[in-house]
């Protein structure tokens, strides 16, 4: 009896770390600002057939419409109510998306903005995505409803009421993040309203949540909310499945709050991952004053100061740091530097560390002034009536209308498949030249080689793979019984000859057992 109780408690406490992906799937993609109907179609026509396990979607709840600047992407981080009603679509469209994606084995993860409501000082009105009213002077959001009793102001001790110093944990949790009205999460009433919202989403069929601004909530308050959550919908998930929780905590070190305070609640976004990997791929100076090189990646993971792998949600860039918001700094690689970016994403997907998220962006016109992009606010491609543009698909399977669709780039899509095959296989046969030529395998299912040096690479390496002819899935892929790109021959002893010129379009090669002729 006692044993059963202990097991039950462990079950409840640990299940929210599991990604809740379908069998054999390992990665999710953030379809930033996409419309629900486009995501539904993408699940069916592309994500399911190519092994993607899930989608992180933009906040689905009603938000403040911001007119100055005009409809920035960040207005979606200013809630007005928990009605499912946003630029991505209405509740009917959201339900349809969740159902259609789940039906093809692609799960939905919601970006949950629960730390705050909209910015202060917006006055009163109903300029919100569903027309619900608000009054920031009275601190009233009738569509929830929240009143002046539900905000934190009394606890915050800074002059401005905003967070002024990130080394003071009390400020970070009790004051306003960039003047956003901070909810009093210790209140049972507030916790209940948030749990009701998340439970509605769970009942519709979502598989988990990104917890926005988790660093700005006391871990105990957040845990109390998570404990109120239902198990996942049994139409698609096994009985008793807990929602995946991944908390946005930016911890690059040196502040008053550490990501480890949140290990007990769920996974955490590991911001050091993209910042450090960016430095390595760019060959910039690292923590010890010398230039980073790929050879150092031999012990990539916890030895680099990253959090435990089973707690980490990892990514090369996210919607904030690809445009200078949030944490990470200038080393972050994005689609704008596509050659280096593909190498970084390729490395991430080949390496066993962490639970991986691929970014999928929209293009905007950057205008740099003193190193800062003046257009860092620009929202998704939109029509004249301000509604978000459809994602169109070109003949070559790339996207139109300003959508970048990094997840459809052959090199990235094929590495998502590589990771699915490699999922539990150990990292084996590491090789490096002491500089920026490195290679490693995953068990006997896949092998990858990088040449990020300025000179050619030509070498025979132990792959760990069975003998045969393999298609490189970076320069091409296997189609029918031919390779559209390079062919690699693995000999009976597992060795294969690799050649990568420093001028190659993509200076890396990857092979796996499903790309064997
Ligand atoms: C907008 C306007 C504001 C206005 C506000 C209210 O831009 O001027 O005051 O409305 O009217 C997004 C946008 C915001 C936007 C907001 C609401 O990014 O610009 O404000 O929507 O519309 C902190 C938080 C983190 C947060 C990040 C942006 O800790 O949670 O700021 N990310 C999430 C979302 C994000 C969203 C929100 C939260 C709000 O992903 O999209 O904001 O819902 C340090 C700290 C970090 C801190 C950063 C940013 O990081 O560690 O915790 O993130 O500063 O200030 C080096 C350091 C690193 C440091 C970093 C700073 O890398 O090592 O530690 O520099 O860049």
Contact 281, 289 (CB under 8 A): no
CB atoms within 10 A of CB 481: 7
Q: Ligand 1 mean position to 263 CA, how many Å? A: 22
- For 344, 432, 451, the CA distances from 506, given in Å and listed in that order, are 11, 18, 9
The pLDDT of residue 15: 55
Which residues are 196's β-sheet partners? none
Which residues form ligand 1's pocket by a CB distance below 6 Å?
Answer: 74-75, 77-78, 113, 119, 166, 177-180, 212-213, 215, 248, 250, 252, 255, 320, 325-329
Report the nearest atom of ligand 1 relative to the CA of 75. 22
Q: Which residues contact 273 (CB under 8 A, 6 or more apart)?
A: 306, 312, 314, 315, 316, 348, 354
- Both tokens assigned to 202: 């769970």
Q: Whose CA is nearest to atom 4 of ligand 1?
A: 178
Q: Whose CA is nearest to atom 44 of ligand 1?
A: 327
Contact 222, 211 (CB under 8 A): yes
Rg (C-alpha) for the chain, rounded Å, is 23
Q: Ligand 1 mean position to 177 CA, how many Å? A: 7
Containing H/E element for 78? none
Q: Given the DSSP bridges, would you call strands 107-112 and 89-90 parallel, antiparallel or unpaired?
A: unpaired
pLDDT in tens, 252-266: 999 999 999 999 999
- From 77, 252, 261, the mutation candidate for ligand 1 (largest count of ligand atoms within 8 A of CB) is 77
Contact 466, 492 (CB under 8 A): no
Q: pTM value?
A: 0.96
Report the nearest atom of ligand 1 relative to the CA of 251. 51
- From 134, 247, 327, 329, the mutation candidate for ligand 1 (largest count of ligand atoms within 8 A of CB) is 327
Determine the Cα–Cα distance for residues 37 and 388; give it in Å rounded to an integer.
Answer: 11
Handedness of CA 37, 349, 359, 402 (dihedral sign): negative
Catalytic center residues: 212, 248
Report the nearest atom of ligand 1 relative to the CA of 180. 6
Determine the Cα–Cα distance for residues 105 and 317; give it in Å rounded to an integer.
Answer: 25
* 306 closest CA partner among 283, 277, 329: 277
Q: Whose CA is nearest to atom 27 of ligand 1?
A: 326
Burial of 461 (0-12, 13-18, 19+ CB in 10 A): middle
Determine the Cα–Cα distance for residues 242 and 16; give it in Å rounded to an integer.
Answer: 5
Determine the Cα–Cα distance for residues 486 and 477; give it in Å rounded to an integer.
Answer: 8
- For 176, 208, 224, 232, the CA distances from 240, given in Å and listed in that order, are 36, 14, 19, 7
The pLDDT of residue 237: 97
Q: Any idea how long the chain is?
A: 517
- From 167, 250, 278, the mutation candidate for ligand 1 (largest count of ligand atoms within 8 A of CB) is 250
Report the nearest atom of ligand 1 relative to the CA of 76. 22
Residue with tokens 């916890």: 302
Assign 444 to helix, strand or coil.
coil
Residue with tokens 């609640």: 265
Q: Ligand 1 mean position to 376 CA, how many Å? A: 12
Q: Ligand 1 mean position to 320 CA, how many Å? A: 8
- Both tokens assigned to 368: 């740099």
Report the nearest atom of ligand 1 relative to the CA of 215. 29
Q: Ligand 1 mean position to 190 CA, how many Å? A: 23
End-to-end Cα spacing for the chain: 55
pLDDT in tens, 449-461: 999 999 999 999 9
The pLDDT of residue 154: 87
Determine the Cα–Cα distance for residues 381 and 401; give it in Å rounded to an integer.
Answer: 7
Assign 388 to helix, strand or coil.
strand
**Helix segments in 113-234, DSSP class H:** 169-174, 188-204, 219-227
Q: Ligand 1 mean position to 78 CA, how many Å? A: 12
- For 60, 182, 334, the CA distances from 216, given in Å and listed in that order, are 21, 9, 26
Distance of CA 61 to the CA centre of its chain: 19
The pLDDT of residue 2: 43
Q: Ligand 1 mean position to 118 CA, how many Å? A: 14
Q: Provide the angle, in degrees to the nearest 10, between the axes of the packed helices 410-422 and 338-350.
A: 10
Which residues are 13's β-sheet partners? none
- What does each of the 517 residues of the chain score in pLDDT, given as a tens digit? 444 444 444 444 445 899 999 999 999 999 999 999 999 999 999 999 999 999 999 999 999 999 999 999 999 999 999 999 999 999 999 999 999 999 999 999 999 999 999 999 999 999 999 999 999 999 999 999 999 999 998 899 999 999 999 999 999 999 999 999 999 999 999 999 999 999 999 999 999 999 999 999 999 999 999 999 999 999 999 999 999 999 999 999 999 999 999 999 999 999 999 999 999 999 999 877 889 999 999 999 999 999 999 999 999 999 999 999 998 889 999 999 999 999 999 999 999 999 999 999 999 999 999 989 999 999 999 999 999 999 999 999 999 999 999 999 999 999 999 999 999 999 999 999 999 999 999 999 999 999 999 999 999 999 999 999 999 999 999 999 999 999 999 999 999 999 999 999 999 999 999 999 9
- Across 34-137, the runs of DSSP E, i.e. the strands, are 54-57, 61-63, 79-86, 89-90, 107-112, 116-119, 124-125, 134-135
């Amino acid at each position: 009896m006692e044993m059963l109780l202990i097991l039950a408690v462990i079950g409840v406490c640990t299940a929210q770390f599991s990604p809740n992906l379908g069998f054999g799937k390992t990665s999710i993609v953030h379809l930033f600002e996409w419309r629900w109907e486009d995501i539904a179609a993408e699940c069916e026509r592309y994500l399911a057939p190519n092994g993607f396990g899930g989608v992180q979607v933009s906040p689905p709840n009603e938000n403040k419409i911001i007119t100055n600047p005009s409809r920035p992407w960040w207005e979606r981080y200013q809630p007005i109510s928990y009605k499912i009603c946003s630029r991505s679509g209405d509740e009917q469209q959201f339900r349809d998306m969740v159902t259609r994606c789940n039906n093809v084995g692609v799960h939905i993860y919601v970006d949950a903005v629960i730390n705050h409501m909209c910015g202060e000082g917006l006055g009163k009105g109903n300029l919100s995505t569903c027309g619900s009213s608000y009054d920031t002077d009275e601190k009233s959001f009738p569509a929830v409803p929240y009143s002046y009793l539900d905000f934190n102001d009394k606890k915050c001790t800074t002059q401005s009421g905003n967070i002024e110093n990130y080394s003071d944990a009390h400020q970070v949790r009790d004051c306003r993040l960039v003047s956003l009205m901070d909810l009093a999460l210790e209140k049972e009433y507030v916790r209940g309203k948030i749990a009701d919202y998340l439970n509605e989403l769970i009942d519709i069929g979502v598989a988990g949540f990104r917890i926005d601004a988790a660093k700005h909530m006391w871990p105990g308050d957040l845990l109390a909310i998570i404990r109120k959550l239902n198990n996942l919908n049994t139409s698609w998930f096994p009985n008793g499945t807990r929602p995946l929780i991944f908390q946005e905590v930016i911890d690059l070190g040196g502040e008053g709050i550490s990501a480890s305070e949140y290990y007990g609640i769920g996974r955490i976004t590991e911001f050091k991952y993209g910042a450090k990997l960016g430095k390595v791929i760019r060959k910039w100076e690292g923590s010890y004053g010398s230039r980073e090189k790929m050879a150092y990646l031999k012990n990539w993971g916890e030895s680099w100061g990253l959090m435990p792998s089973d707690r980490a949600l990892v990514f090369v860039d996210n919607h904030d740091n690809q445009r200078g918001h949030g944490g990470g700094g200038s080393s972050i690689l994005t689609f704008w530097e596509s050659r280096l970016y593909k190498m970084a994403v390729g490395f991430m997907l080949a390496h066993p560390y962490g639970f991986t998220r691929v970014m999928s962006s929209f293009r905007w016109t950057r205008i740099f002034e003193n190193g800062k992009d003046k257009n860092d606010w620009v929202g998704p491609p939109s029509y004249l009536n301000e509604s978000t543009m459809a994602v169109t698909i070109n003949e070559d399977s790339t996207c139109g209308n300003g959508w970048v669709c990094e997840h459809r780039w052959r090199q990235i899509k094929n590495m998502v498949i590589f990771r699915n095959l490699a999922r539990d296989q150990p990292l084996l046969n590491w090789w490096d030249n002491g500089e920026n030529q490195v290679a490693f395998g995953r068990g006997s299912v896949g092998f990858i080689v990088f040449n990020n040096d300025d000179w050619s690479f030509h070498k025979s390496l132990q792959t760990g793979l069975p003998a045969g002819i393999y298609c490189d899935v970076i320069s091409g892929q296997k189609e029918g019984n031919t390779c559209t790109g390079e062919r690699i021959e693995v000999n009976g002893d597992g060795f294969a000859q690799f050649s990568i010129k420093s001028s190659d379009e993509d200076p890396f090669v990857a092979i796996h057992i499903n790309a064997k002729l």
